[in-house]
Structure 1
Amino acid sequence: MSKKWLPPEEFAATLPKATVFGAVFFTDEEDRPVHLRATYSSAHPWQWPGGIAESGERPWETAVRECREETGLHVAGPPKLLATVFGLPGKDWPLATVGFVFDGGQLSSRQLAEIVLDPNEHDQVRALTVSEWQDLMPSRDHARLEAVVTARHAGIPAYFDTWDWEV
């Protein structure tokens, strides 16, 4: 390590870069996790409402905005953190990923039926048991789902740091 002091902008240029995302985790009345099918990603075909933070936006604000844009649902606060997710960069994405998954609660059958998907992003919404999701998503996405479900039931946020992009 160099003992030379760098101005903040020079030091910042030496640090790892990451994208930040916010997402909302919902279940249906039978406690089955709800996911949206992405039209643009075969790497992560089933997702929670959410997305990458815009400049100046905090993760909770991102989760609320993205949920509204992707489903028409308005999530009320205060935010309840279920998990912090971290992934290292890889061949398909050059930046690390830091995410915050918030609890959106249970959706009634009426709320699920009234979801309006943005067809440019998602074409289907499903509520399935954790085991039913296993064959529909990559193993790292399913492990993340299991961690979030466990966190919700335990009341203790999860730290999930193996959501890496493939090298």
Structure 2
Amino acid sequence: MSQGSAIVWVNGAFGAGKTSTARELQALIPGSTVFDPESVGAYLAHLLPPEEFAAVADFQDLVAWRRLVPETAAALLAQLPGTLIVPMTLLREDYRDEIFGALAARRIGVHHLLLHLEETILRKRIEGDDAEGRAAQWRLDHIDAYRRARGWLAQDAVAVDTAELTPAQAAARILEVVRSGTARCRIVQDPVSTRDTLAAAVLFFDDQDRVLLVDPVYKPGWEFPGGVVEEGEAPTAAAVREVAEELGFRLDPARLRLLVTDWEPHRGPRSGGLRLVFDGGRLTDRQRADLILPDAELRAWRFVSEAESAELLPLNKCKRLAAALRARAAGEQHYLEAGASDPF
């Protein structure tokens, strides 16, 4: 292993052998530590009111779990620098974005490995396991979820087929992959800011007046093109820079027209400060065909109607978009606080 702290995330279906493989991997990496995020779920089961915990089908659905896992991992690496081995099934892409993005914001590299078994072999292994019946049945019930997740997992993780491998052999194979660097997630993310920030977003439209959204790899949900204004940088210059980095084309700053200024209260990392929304105009067919997304930041783009955006954007950005569309239609500029035009 190279110098510096990093995480080896061992993913896979429930029953794929992650825990036993992680123990073998720990023996191969001097000074490494195993962190099982299930312990965070067990802690929350004792900490949260019973009705709060019972309201979710899986502890991964708890916001607290998804926030505490990267925080705990970072704290462990601060205490025990080196390699942190995390054996944990992670089948929802948005949860992966949230957790891995939080780690990337702390400059913690993640190597994403997937222990893979064909479904028939996986079922036989689970059914032949010594685990009590309820645990085995729970694993079988989640095979469908693993099958549905295989599409995005194949793009994000390096798979290690363990059908013919012992846990020790699987661990040795994982170590080879980690040393090669091919499993390292290429997430580009700035450190978490503890201060309010100034950010500039640009709205682009198609011929149907649908707005362009992009899907970041480092956090759940969709976003407007744009980003944080750097120290000493003009907001329009930041908008031009971010569009070039995210969409791959040079934006004429003369095309930009300010639609909305929104003051966002500080609710946690990466939130808080002034948010400027500019109108970037309509994209031509040629511009749409030439869009180039950076693999380490964005995985997709699409044009959506205002109604469709409600399914993709958080509430604060939905409010901001609605105000921007009203301002664009009226040829005005709107000032908001926390997404509201009347803060009182």
If the TM-score is normalised by the length of the shorter chain, which range does it land in? 0.7 to 0.9
1:154 equivalent in alignment to 2:330: yes
Between the aligned partners of 2:338 and 2:310, the Cα distance in structure 1 is 17
- Does the CA contact (< 8 Å) of 2:248 and 2:292 recur in 1? yes
Counterparts of 1:3-18 in structure 2, within 5 Å, are: 17-18=195-196
Aligned residue among 201, 205, 215 for 1:23 = 201
Counterparts of 1:30-49 in structure 2, within 5 Å, are: 30-42=208-220, 45-49=221-225
Aligned residue among 37, 40, 58 for 2:234 = 58
Secondary structure (helix, strand or coil) at the match of 1:124 reads strand
Structure 1, unaligned runs of 5 or more: 1-16
**Cα shift at 1:109:** 2.7
Report Cα offsets for 1:16-58 as digits up to 9, x if no partner.
Answer: x52111121111111101111111122xx21121111112101
- RMSD value over aligned CA atoms? 1.7
Give the ranges of 4+ consecutive aligned residues of structure 1 lying more than 3 Å apart after TM superposition. none
Is 122-131 or 138-147 further displaced after alignment?
138-147
Counterparts of 1:1-167 in structure 2, within 5 Å, are: 17-42=195-220, 45-78=221-254, 79-93=256-270, 96-163=272-339
Report Cα offsets for 1:109-136 as digits up to 9, x if no partner.
Answer: 3311211011111111100111111112
Number of residues of Structure 1 aligned to a counterpart in Structure 2: 145
Report Cα offsets for 1:61-114 as digits up to 9, x if no partner.
Answer: 100100101101211132311111211111334x63212111110012331121
TM-score for the superposition, normalised by structure 1: 0.80
Between the aligned partners of 1:157 and 1:119, the Cα distance in structure 2 is 34
Between the aligned partners of 1:110 and 1:30, the Cα distance in structure 2 is 16
Between the aligned partners of 1:91 and 1:100, the Cα distance in structure 2 is 19
Between the aligned partners of 1:46 and 1:159, the Cα distance in structure 2 is 23
Secondary structure (helix, strand or coil) at the match of 1:112 reads helix
Between the aligned partners of 1:136 and 1:100, the Cα distance in structure 2 is 20
- Does the CA contact (< 8 Å) of 1:29 and 1:109 recur in 2? no
Secondary structure (helix, strand or coil) at the match of 1:34 reads strand
Secondary structure (helix, strand or coil) at the match of 2:230 reads coil
Secondary structure (helix, strand or coil) at the match of 2:302 reads strand
- Does the CA contact (< 8 Å) of 2:214 and 2:224 recur in 1? yes
Between the aligned partners of 2:286 and 2:225, the Cα distance in structure 1 is 18
TM-score for the superposition, normalised by structure 2: 0.40
Amino acid at match of 1:64: V
Amino acid at match of 2:266: P
Secondary structure (helix, strand or coil) at the match of 1:135 reads coil
- Does the CA contact (< 8 Å) of 1:51 and 1:66 recur in 2? yes
Structure 2, unaligned runs of 5 or more: 1-194, 340-344
Specify which structure has the bigger relative contact order, considering alpha-carbon pairs within 8 angstroms and separated by 6 or more residues: 1
* Identity in percent: 34
Q: Which structure carries more strand by proportion?
A: 1
Secondary structure (helix, strand or coil) at the match of 1:46 reads coil
Amino acid at match of 2:222: W
Greater C-alpha Rg: 2
